[in-house]
Amino acid sequence: MNIALLRQRIKPWILPIAMVAGMLFHDFMEQIEFIAPYLIFIMLFITFCRVKPHEFRVTALSWSLLSVQIIGALALYFIIVPMSVDVAQGTFICVFCPTATAAPVITGMLGGSVPRLATFSIISNIAVALLAPVIFTLMGSDAGIPFSDALLTISAKVMPLIILPLVLALCLLKILPKVHRAVAEKQAVSFYIWAVSLFIVVGRAVSFIMDEPTEAIPEMIILAIFSGIVCCAQFWIGRKIGRRGGDKIAGAQGLGQKNTVLAIWMALTYLHPVSSVAPAAYVAWQNTINSTQLYFKMRRENSGM
């Protein structure tokens, strides 16, 4: 068996392995968790290099997916918040969170349109960068901070993390097109960076969960269940929207595959920390779906050889 074939067979299992490793070695995350935002930055930069300006076309599919992401997230929050603020925040972040930086990679492996999904990934991330500071401030995890101060603080941390990779990618295209092309051809790297990021943020979330009192367990179970429901719903809705837009795979991955690394980080940083259980569980749900899809795709390809 050659190395390329071995890598292809192992790839569907890399993310589950990273998650399990994060759970097992969660005690070591304090030493390395500071690199998570930098990994998110690099993943976004590599993804944004994939799309050239002439390929950046906002279609009806993009607007439909974005509407579900933003309006759907807020609707769920207001429906659930009378019952539990923590569950409402956890469910909200699982829908509001932008498309995963590795989603174009998975989409390509499944046979969908990579430029179309990469375009939506940019739109999805920009929307979150612009809206997250306002929404998180209004949710007010710390009522002692004035609205304007909280807004500026969150904006200073969230917006550069998402907007600067796009600006850097566009500048690189103009100044060093050969380097830009080389980065664009290394999309698979973002997949492995994502695996390392998952290892870190899952470990950090597990550490938090382990420190929670036993009376918080029922709420964490509810968060995990709600996370699974919205995960399955988003893949299903995205597939339905994508079918009408001409690419059911891009639709499903664009709405269902979330940047859970960013979601967990935002939940731990700006929302009630226990809400991070929802995106942490979402990691398991979405990677179970993706691993299953990749397994059956490769099985069909191997049977047709």
pTM of the model: 0.76
Give the amino acid at 210. Answer: M
Selected residue with higher pLDDT from 134 and 77: 77
pLDDT score, position 245: 77
By mean pLDDT, which of 8-12, 42-46, 127-131, 210-214 is the weakest? 8-12
Instruction: Report pLDDT digits (tens) over 232-289.
Output: 999 999 999 988 877 888 899 999 999 887 888 788 878 888 888 899 889 878 878 8
Residue from 236, 234, 244, 209 nearest 223 by CA: 209
Q: Which residues contact 73 (CB under 8 A, 6 or more apart)?
A: 92, 93, 95, 96
pLDDT score, position 150: 60
pLDDT score, position 180: 86
Output phi, psi for 212, to 5 deg.
-75, 145
Contact call for residues 185 and 52 (beta carbons, < 8 A): no
Tokens 């891009």 correspond to what residue?
250
Instruction: Name the average pLDDT for the chain.
Output: 81
pLDDT score, position 203: 82
Pairwise CA distance, residues 176 & 153, whole Å? 33
Band of pLDDT at residue 149, cut at 50, 70 and 90: low
At 244, list the tokens.
């009408």
Q: In this model, does residue 144 exceed pLDDT 60?
A: no
Residue from 222, 221, 205, 215 nearest 283 by CA: 205
Tokens 């070591």 correspond to what residue?
28
Contact call for residues 154 and 135 (beta carbons, < 8 A): no
Q: Which residues contact 132 (CB under 8 A, 6 or more apart)?
A: 96, 154, 158, 266, 270
Contact call for residues 84 and 92 (beta carbons, < 8 A): no
Selected residue with higher pLDDT from 296 and 233: 233
At 28, list the tokens.
């070591």
Q: In this model, does residue 188 exceed pLDDT 80?
A: no
Q: In sequence order, what are the beta bridge partners of 99? A: 258
Percent of the chain at pLDDT > 70 equals: 86
Percent of the chain at pLDDT > 90 equals: 20
